[in-house]
Chain A
Amino acid sequence: MTGLPILDISGLSKSYGAVRAVDGINLHVDRGEICGLIGPNGSGKSTFFDCVTGLAKPNAGAVKLDGQDITGWSLSDIAREGRMLRSFQKTVVFSALDVEENLVIAGQMFTFPGILSTFGVGSAARNRVAALRERARELIKIVGLWDVRSQAAGKLSGGQQKLIQFASMLMPEPKLILLDEPMAGINPKLIERVVESIRLANMSFGVSFLIIEHNIDVVTSLCTRVVVLDQGRKLAEGTPDDIVQNQAVREAYLGG
């Protein structure tokens, strides 16, 4: 099984009326890989993410996660399974709850076998929550929010909320995380923190990533392979260096 890519997408297409937002894309993410997905606005990156994660139904193509065909699964089916998680461009946290509580909630449904077991108050339930809390604290240290862990998430800056969201995604021990513009709207100092957190999660937990990002410096420093989309089609694929040199990519996206 280890030879198989963690995510394998073939011939994925999605049309809205006459517009072919995603047009027969083949893409794979290898185990332990950080793969970048770039392209101009409207090139179909987010639609592609939506089709992969069940938010939109593709018209054609197949999505295989860890060898299993998950084409047509709903967003909540995929979310509940916890193997593949995605972030959205808009950051959402449980604003009134503190950082630690945010993370514990994010992990809870993946530790308890069913909804009724969550009503348990015995030692089994307490041990599960204690283990979650321990993991939450470990992750809070990794993303560098230890000093603010008891503060309400809503009081923190947008960048810090992004880090909460990122740490929350690591709670269920996923195999693959899809990030939609993780660096949008955060200051340069925090960008470094996010990059470092992604790298740490990749190295210490073996999580694979597929990242949509416009910040080309981040993409080149973080990703081992980059896929470029343009008008719903795959324009190019290769190492960050290849992509930066690629004439077609420069014309369509990078400019100059």
Chain B
Amino acid sequence: MTPAELSIPATGRDLRLPFGVALAALACAAPLFLGNYPLHAIIIALIFLLPAHGLNLLLGYTGLLSLAQAAFFGIGAYTSALLAVHFGTPFYVNFLAAGVVAGAIALPLGIPALRLRATSFVMCTLGFVIIGQAIAKNWISLTRGDMGLAGIPKPYFALGPVSFTVSGTVGFYYLVLVIAAIATLAAYLIVRSPAGRNMIAIRENETLAESVGIPTWNYKLLVFMISAAFAGLGGSVYAHYLTVVSPLTFQMYYSTTMLIIVLGGGAGTISGVIFGSLLFVGLTEALRVAPELRMIAYGFCLLGLVFWFPSGFAPIIGRFWSFLERRK
């Protein structure tokens, strides 16, 4: 046994488990002490957590910067809205369909886009958002153009003879909480799998990854699709929450929000992204009290973040853990 082997902190896991349990309990009890408005802000944050997890897989783990998340978010929202409005399908069908459609559309988009080099790839993914919005505006027979699709039903479940509708802020909060927890678990399992290790290898050095037999291009395409599916799922929940979708669902602002969540929270970490989505979406909602100054204040917050915490909040969370461990 070398000293390094002996010094593996055995307390690491011990601390994380009670914290996780406490956090889960806090999340479950939140409606007891939070009003509707804070709950609404958390719901939006948890919805944005889905595309952010997707982007984190792509950017944080595989090293590909994509601005297309808003496009897939929009595709998911419209898929869900069209199914619900035209066919009255239950929520889980719309939800899964939104993920599958967004992931499937990412395939033909990813094949040409991933052949481009870094900056061209970013520009190309930006193009997808603009094209998406143009289609939503102009394919009027399907999307009703700028009028958007209204009257999307609240999430409705039908399992055999039992059917119920999730309505009200508290009900929706619990639905989104469950979805966000499952998505977080899925993202965690992906990054902990051997594929996650290969993704990190691609991020670190693509040429070397290729030379140790990793089919880098296939991985990038697959992760691009998975990331799109995450965004599509988020879009679906968003549509059912707001009960209306419009071409504004495809907006660059959403892509940048997701980017800020990932970079600000800490790219390449799961906990950082959760923290980032709560902080940044919460922040924009909280700043609504000063509407004139809102975007300016938000901009200054981002500048401060870039200057003081260039790798996001993940290292701070890490330092917090080690501080607790030392105290123990």
Q: Which residues of B contact A108 (CB under 8 A)?
A: 194, 197-198, 212, 214
B175 within 8 A of partner (CB)? no
Q: Secondary structure at chain B's binding surface: helix, strand, loop or mixed? A: helix
B325 within 8 A of partner (CB)? no
Taking CB as reference atom, which chain B residue is nearest A165?
B208
Contact A109 B214 (CB under 8 A): yes
Over the window 113-127 of chain A, the binary record of Cβ atoms lying under 8 Å from chain B Cβ atoms (1 yes, 0 no) is 001001111000100
**Cβ contact of A150, chosen from B4, B201, B219, cutoff 8 A:** B4
Q: Which residues of A contact B214 (CB under 8 A)?
A: 105, 108-109
Interface size on A, residues (CB 8 A): 34
Min CB distance, A61 to chain B, in Å?
24
Q: Which residues of A contact B195 (CB under 8 A)?
A: 115, 118-119
Contact A147 B2 (CB under 8 A): yes
Contact B194 A94 (CB under 8 A): no
A236 within 8 A of partner (CB)? no
Distance, CA A92 to CA B209, complexed state (A): 10
A155 within 8 A of partner (CB)? no
Over the window 81-98 of chain A, the binary record of Cβ atoms lying under 8 Å from chain B Cβ atoms (1 yes, 0 no) is 010000000001111110
Distance, CA A222 to CA B26, complexed state (A): 66
Contact B212 A168 (CB under 8 A): yes
Within 8 A of A (CB), among B200-240: 200-201, 204-205, 207-215, 218-219, 222
B189 within 8 A of partner (CB)? yes
A76 within 8 A of partner (CB)? yes
Contact B207 A82 (CB under 8 A): no
Q: Which residues of A contact B205 (CB under 8 A)?
A: 92, 94-95
Min CB distance, B224 to chain A, in Å?
14
Interface size on B, residues (CB 8 A): 26
Min CB distance, B312 to chain A, in Å?
16
Q: Which residues of A contact B211 (CB under 8 A)?
A: 75-76, 79
Q: Which residues of B contact A149 (CB under 8 A)?
A: 4
Q: Which residues of A contact B201 (CB under 8 A)?
A: 94, 97, 105
B170 within 8 A of partner (CB)? no
B326 within 8 A of partner (CB)? no
Given the known A-B contacts A120-B193, A150-B4, are A109 and B198 also in contact in the complex, defined by CB atoms under 8 Å?
yes
Contact A80 B215 (CB under 8 A): yes
Contact A94 B193 (CB under 8 A): no
Taking CB as reference atom, which chain A residue is nearest B200?
A97
Taking CB as reference atom, which chain B residue is nearest A128?
B194
A196 within 8 A of partner (CB)? no
Contact B204 A95 (CB under 8 A): yes
Within 8 A of B (CB), among A214-229: none
Given the known A-B contacts A104-B197, A128-B194, are A172 and B213 also in contact in the complex, defined by CB atoms under 8 Å?
yes
Within 8 A of A (CB), among B163-193: 189-190, 192-193
Q: Which residues of B contact A76 (CB under 8 A)?
A: 210-211, 213, 215
Min CB distance, A172 to chain B, in Å?
7
Contact B212 A115 (CB under 8 A): no
Contact A112 B210 (CB under 8 A): no
Taking CB as reference atom, which chain A residue is nearest B214?
A109
Beyond known contacts A105-B201, A125-B193: 19 more, CB 8 A cutoff? A75-B211, A76-B211, A76-B213, A79-B211, A79-B213, A94-B201, A95-B204, A96-B204, A97-B201, A105-B198, A105-B212, A106-B212, A112-B194, A118-B194, A119-B190, A119-B194, A121-B192, A147-B2, A172-B213
12 cross-chain CB contacts under 8 A: A97-B201, A104-B197, A105-B197, A108-B194, A108-B214, A109-B212, A109-B213, A109-B214, A115-B219, A118-B193, A119-B194, A125-B193
Point out residues on A near B: beta carbons under 8 Å. Answer: 75-76, 79-80, 82, 92-97, 101, 104-106, 108-110, 112, 115, 118-121, 125, 128-129, 146-147, 149-150, 168, 171-172
